[in-house]
Amino acid sequence: MEVPNTIGNLEVKTPEAKVEKKPPLLKKEGVKRKRASVQSSWAEDELERLYESRKTAEGRDDPRRSQNCCEFFLSRLGCMLAVCVGVIVVVTAAVVPNLTTLSTTSTTSSTQSVTSPATSKTTSDHWAEWTLYIREYFQQDSDAATGLEERYPDNEVVMALLEDRFFWHWVCRYWECRPDLPHTLSDAITYCIRFGTSKTLQNNDYRHYTSLSLSGLILSDNDVEALANLFPYLKGVEYLHLSRCGLSAKAAKSLAGQLHLLHALNALDLSSNNIGDDGLEAISDTFSHLKELRTFYVMDNSITNVGGRALAKRLVHLQELQNIALARNELALSLSLMAKAFVNMARLESVGLWPITCRADSFRMAAQQARDAVHTPEGQVRSTRSVLLYDASTGSTGGTRESDAAWQGVEQELTTGVYISNGKMKIRLQIKLLEE
């Protein structure tokens, strides 16, 4: 598999502010180790004791070191996959200029975690154990251990990866094979794919690797294409969260091209992107393959009634779907078609349409669509104060003077918001008028 030299034209650069060095390292003959300010003297003694005791107890080389790079990844498939995905998460967060506008989530600054007073002891223990791990891994090769101990604190990609113990072995192996550390997204992804995606792996399912979340990180079209190329090796993924990633219609099409491979997918969150009608149509074309999908979120995606109609035609394939969220899209004029699709979905429980939008001059038409959406499932309409406004549960199609008068009361509440329920499915509906 060929990976471009740069992913999304992004490259990680060493930050101007130096990352504070990690736990103090011991001195060996002829080698100077760096000491960090975050470790107290008791930790030094404990580290020395643990290191010497484990070294004496084991007293022999680790047979892992005789493996070459390809053998390493072939024997540790989950690690290869996590590294590919993890590096996308970490490096994208590090290089995106607009990332400062995003809320800080799991990919936070490693410097902050080191200097936080509330977590200083935990952090100190973490890096002390990492130092011990390096020495256990390299054992007799003290030069390699020393080199890694001195180099890793200045590498932003590696520092973020090391926050999770899952990546410790991979970092040591990478250093042993090069010796070097990845500085760019392209370098890391290329290495992982080259040694981990051979033809011998194509029939493997990674059922232990069930969740992937890149939410909040801006991904270019090329980034998403690289991610989608990993889908053949992520067949066990059940939860895919890509909200607030700046996904375009092109990115959605790249996902759709490989999404059918995620047979176990249970939840797909694409909310707060910009996939538009074309992107939604491409994603919905894969519904016939997503037999296990139970949650589907595409709120706030610049979707119009064109995309709404395309979605309605394909929802019939999602018979396991329980929750769907379509809010903050211009879908008020496709309510009738979507309601007909909803009523044919046996397990659907929750529909989020709070709010959907339409132009002010189309409100009367949208209100009629809403009335159809009430009668199709034979539901009741209640206000936000739980007051019964309209009842279509008797199966009547309306048209009487009483029902027309009752519906006028519903129309007055549509811009505030109403709840439509038939006992099995609940629709939260608010129609927001777009400003001219």
CATH number of the domain bearing residue 290: 3.80.10.10
- Domain C-terminal end among 166, 195, 224: 195
At 154-197, the pLDDT tens digits run 888 778 778 777 678 777 877 888 778 877 555 555 555 555 44
Indicate whether 102 pLDDT > 80: no
- 46 and 165 together in one domain: yes
- 67 and 173 together in one domain: yes
Highest mean pLDDT among 38-47, 63-72, 100-109: 38-47
Residue 8 lies inside a defined structural domain of this protein? no
Residue 18 lies inside a defined structural domain of this protein? no
Among 72-76, 79-83, 328-332, whose mean pLDDT is lowest?
Answer: 72-76
What is the CB-side half-sphere exposure of residue 202 using CA atoms within 13 A?
5
- 52 and 170 together in one domain: yes
pLDDT category at 395 given cuts 50, 70, 90 is: low
Indicate whether 35 pLDDT > 80: no
Range of the domain at 392: 352-436
Residue 240 lies inside a defined structural domain of this protein? yes
Q: How far apart are CA 81 and CA 286, in angstroms?
A: 23
Among 40-54, 119-133, 140-154, 280-294, whose mean pLDDT is lowest?
Answer: 40-54
- 77 and 185 together in one domain: yes
pLDDT of residue 29: 35
- 71 and 187 together in one domain: yes
Q: What one-letter code names the amino acid at 387? A: V
Average pLDDT, the chain: 75
- 84 and 212 together in one domain: no
pLDDT of residue 278: 97
Highest mean pLDDT among 13-27, 150-164, 242-256: 242-256
Residue 340 lies inside a defined structural domain of this protein? no
Indicate whether 76 pLDDT > 50: no
- 65 and 177 together in one domain: yes
Sheet arrangement for strand 350-359: 211-213, 239-241, 267-269, 295-297, 323-325, 350-359, 426-434, 418-421, 380-383, 388-391
pLDDT of residue 247: 96
Residue 237 lies inside a defined structural domain of this protein? yes
- 211 and 313 together in one domain: yes
Indicate whether 432 pLDDT > 80: yes
pLDDT of residue 172: 83
Token pair, residue 5, equals 């030299």
Q: Which residue has the tokens 């070097």?
A: 180
Mean local confidence (pLDDT), 291-305: 97
Vertex 264: Cα angle to 262 and 266 (nearest 5): 105
Residue 231 DSSP code: G
pLDDT of residue 173: 77
Mean local confidence (pLDDT), 289-294: 95
Indicate whether 368 pLDDT > 70: yes
- 121 and 210 together in one domain: no
- 191 and 85 together in one domain: yes
- 51 and 125 together in one domain: yes
**DSSP characters over 73-121:** HHH-HHHHHHHHHHHHHHHHHHH-GGGGGSPP-SS--HHHHHH-GGGHH
Residue 137 lies inside a defined structural domain of this protein? yes
Among 25-29, 207-211, 355-359, 374-378, whose mean pLDDT is lowest?
Answer: 25-29
How many percent of the chain have pLDDT more than 90?
43
- 377 and 310 together in one domain: no
Residue 210 lies inside a defined structural domain of this protein? yes
- Domain C-terminal end among 168, 195, 222: 195
Indicate whether 222 pLDDT > 70: yes
299 three-state secondary structure: coil
Residue 390 DSSP code: E
- Domain C-terminal end among 195, 226, 251: 195
pLDDT of residue 219: 84
Among 198-202, 222-226, 285-289, 346-350, whose mean pLDDT is lowest?
Answer: 198-202
Residue 362 lies inside a defined structural domain of this protein? yes
Identify the sign of the CA torsion 89, 91, 92, 97: positive
What's the distance, Cα to Cα, between the start and end of the chain in Å? 49
Domain tally, the chain: 3
pLDDT category at 383 given cuts 50, 70, 90 is: very high
Residue 419 DSSP code: E
